[in-house]
Amino acid sequence: MRFFECDVPMMTCSGDTVSGTKKRESRSEAFIANPFAYAFVPVPMSDDGAYFLDMPNLQFSVNKESPSLDMANEFMRFLVTSGELNEMAQNKGLMSPTKDLSFNSVYAAFGDVPESRVLSPEVIGLTDDAVLQFRQADYGVGTGALTIDEAIAKYGTYTQ
């Protein structure tokens, strides 16, 4: 909420944090009184620019014992079309799991990251929860318990 109250210039966040921003706008009196445009951008991490850690976050649950399993599967095929994924993402304030992000000004900058700098967690050897790792590192640096170099060295070793 402090971001919308305008007492912090930026926030470091992961995709799951960003997804709640739209609903928080309406809970901020300062934002309602003085709305502003904002966007989420990838952080430049090299001389070449930003990298994007591509972590799919699409989860549905279907009862495997359901007598209507065929209908559930057909509905899932409908939901995972690009148009429906984009619609759900837009309505929920999420980043679309499709490659075209130009329709959403909040996330458009991520669509500009070249394919060569889009990383898959499994390919780079990060098989645990990247969000947990990010939050633990961010907390350590934010509270002064770790330097940035120490947080980077520990990244991938945090446990819940």
Of 66 and 18, more confident: 66
Confidence of residue 160 (pLDDT cuts 50, 70, 90): low
- Domain of residue 144, residue span: 128-160
DSSP letter string over 123-137?
TTT--S-HHHHHHHH
CB 28 within 8 A of CB 2: no
CA-to-CA separations, 151 to 47, 51, 91, 158, 159, in angstroms, rounded? 21, 18, 35, 10, 14
What domain count does the chain have? Answer: 1
107 contacts 40 by C-beta, under 8 angstroms: yes
Q: What is the pLDDT of residues 4-47, one digit of tens each?
A: 887 777 777 766 667 677 778 888 999 999 998 888 888 777 78
> Tokens in use for 66?
């359901």
Residue 100 inside a domain? The answer is: no
Q: What is the pLDDT of residues 68-94, one digit of tens each?
A: 888 888 888 888 787 887 787 777 767
The answer to whether residue 146 sits within a structural domain is yes
Q: Is residue 77 part of a domain?
A: no
Please check whether residue 94 lies inside any domain of the structure.
Answer: no
Question: For residue 118, is it within any domain?
Answer: no
For residues 66 and 57, the model is more confident at: 66
Q: Is residue 155 part of a domain?
A: yes
